[in-house]
Amino acid sequence: MPTIVNELPLNQINSQAIVSVISPTQDKGSFPFACQISTKTIALADNCQLLSNAYTASQLSSSNESSIELVVFSELTFSQLSNIIAQCSLTVLAVNAINHRNNLISYRFAVQCDDLSQARSQLASLSLDQQFEVALIEEAPQLNTPGVLVMDMDSTTIEIECIDEIAVLAGVGEQVAAVTEQAMQGELDFAQSLHQRVATLNNSPESILASVAENIPLMNGLESLVAQLKQYNWKIAIASGGFTYFADHLKQMLDLDAAHANVLEIIDGKLTGKVLGDVVDAQAKADCLIALQQQYQLPLTQTVAMGDGANDLVMMNAAHFGVAFHAKPIVLKQADSAINFSGLDCLLHWLA
């Protein structure tokens, strides 16, 4: 059905930010409103409030039937937006929502594409090259509906790799850090690499664990992400190939719903260089997510997993929405979306 639109020439607004043309304070009843973007113009339905007078009236066929959304932040320019659309072979149909969350504004465009996997790959390259956050999401989980978020711990919820910090205090820092990097890149079997690293800690005093935990640096945005999700009754957990000493500390500090990690054997106040029980590997992380989803009887479409290393991929694939956070290349290639430069609370904008 034809819709009356306002048509703006891109050459007049290319250098302007989206927020300076499409008002971030729209009537809630106006969403979704029709939108089309070509190499020369952007056409927006006339119920969209514009902050620019440089337009002409025309018509377009209105349709927003797509489960795929392109999510961009308000400071992105129209030049960058049109480049994303062209490079990723997207067809823009509508503006679904404008969200104001954690002091940022994001615009959600309903889009169509012939090959979502290829479009995401191209988008990942563009965002890294031009250093902006952007996401292409199919059937995004809803923020205001209860869901499950499971996060990796080391280099995701906290800024450090705990085992590397422990190893420094134990005098084997360089040796352990090299093995950790190989494991995160997917070059070593995780369980094998964990036993190899922990063995170097034999006879180290238990006190080095307390030293690391005392000043553990939380990842930027973690506390605000947890607080916002809890407002909507989300269940939040850590699933880590690290150690319970730190995961349990974070669980208590942030009032999380669960924490799964490896148990270091300690006898007479000293580490033995052994891990007790089964290793929390990639599959165990995925099992944690599914167990929480089933325990709280939440839909699979409301499950999210975030991590940075190869041992997070199985968990991310088990979730409806897998997000790579400041991640290794192998993870970026397989994730549904990524957060490359911002804090963890950027996830709030990827959720619908």
How confident is the model over 184-199, as pLDDT tens digits?
888 888 888 889 999 9
- Whether residues 84 and 171 fall in one domain: no
Q: Is residue 230 located within the same domain as residue 294? A: yes
Could you give the CA distance from residue 167 to residue 258 in angstroms, rounded to a whole number?
Answer: 26
Residue among 152, 281, 308, 345 flagged as catalytic: 152
Confidence grade of residue 177 (pLDDT, cut at 50, 70, 90): confident
User: Residue written as tokens 């430069």?
Assistant: 341
Indicate which residue of 46, 114, 115, 154 is catalytic: 154
User: Total domain count for the chain?
Assistant: 2
Residues 209 and 106 in one domain: no
- Work out the pLDDT band at 28, boundaries 50, 70, 90: confident
Confidence of residue 38 (pLDDT cuts 50, 70, 90): confident
Three-class secondary structure of residue 259 per DSSP: strand
Do residues 195 and 318 both lie within one domain?
yes
Backbone angles phi, psi at 199, to 5 degrees: -60, -30
Residue type, 170: A
Q: Does 152 qualify as catalytic in the annotation? A: yes
Tell me, yes or no, whether 7 and 128 share the same domain. Answer: yes
Look at residue 4 and tell me whether its pLDDT is greater than 80: no
pLDDT at 160 over 90: yes
- Longest Cα–Cα distance of the chain, Å, equals 80
How far apart are the C-alpha atoms of 320 and 79, rounded to whole Å?
32
Kindly state the tokens that stand for 61: 């066929």
Instruction: For residues 110 and 105, give the distance between their C-alpha atoms in angstroms, rounded to a whole number.
Output: 17
CB 278 within 8 A of CB 306: no
pLDDT of residue 286 exceeding 70: yes
- With CA atoms as reference, report the closest residue to 196 among 183, 213, 212: 183
Domain interval for residue 32: 2-138
Q: With contact defined as beta carbons under 8 Å apart, do 328 and 185 qualify?
A: yes
Instruction: Among 114, 138, 162, give the residue marking a domain's end.
Output: 138
DSSP H stretches of helix in the chain = 10-13, 78-87, 116-130, 162-170, 173-184, 190-199, 207-214, 222-231, 244-254, 282-295, 313-318, 329-334, 347-350
Kindly state whether residues 153 and 63 are assigned to the same domain.
Answer: no
Query: Quick one: tokens of 319?
Result: 């979730």
User: Measured between alpha carbons, how far is residue 177 from residues 138, 182, 191, 195 in Å?
Assistant: 37, 9, 16, 14
Give Cα separations from 163 to 55, 169, 178 (angstroms): 59, 10, 11
Please tell me the predicted confidence (pLDDT) of residue 185. 86
pLDDT in tens, 65-104: 789 999 999 999 999 999 999 999 999 999 999 999 999 9
Query: Does 31 fall in a domain?
Result: yes
pLDDT exceeds cutoff 70 at 60: no
Distances (CA, A) of 237 to 148, 282, 296: 8, 15, 13
Domain assignment of residue 143, yes or no: no
What is the rounded average pLDDT for all residues in the chain?
93
Residue 164 pLDDT level (bands cut at 50, 70, 90):
very high
Instruction: Name residue, tokens 């929390």.
Output: 280
Please check whether residues 29 and 103 belong to one and the same domain. Answer: yes
Q: How far apart are CA 104 and CA 83, in angstroms?
A: 22
Average of per-residue pLDDT across 18-41: 92
Mention every residue, 6+ apart, whose C-beta is less than 8 A from residue 213. Answer: 245, 246, 249
Is pLDDT of 54 > 60?
no
Residue 310 lies in a domain: yes
Euclidean distance between CA atoms 317 and 339, whole angstroms: 17
pLDDT digits (tens, 9 = 90+) for 212-233: 998 899 999 999 999 999 999 9
Query: 154 catalytic, yes or no?
Result: yes
Residue 132 has pLDDT above 90, yes or no: yes
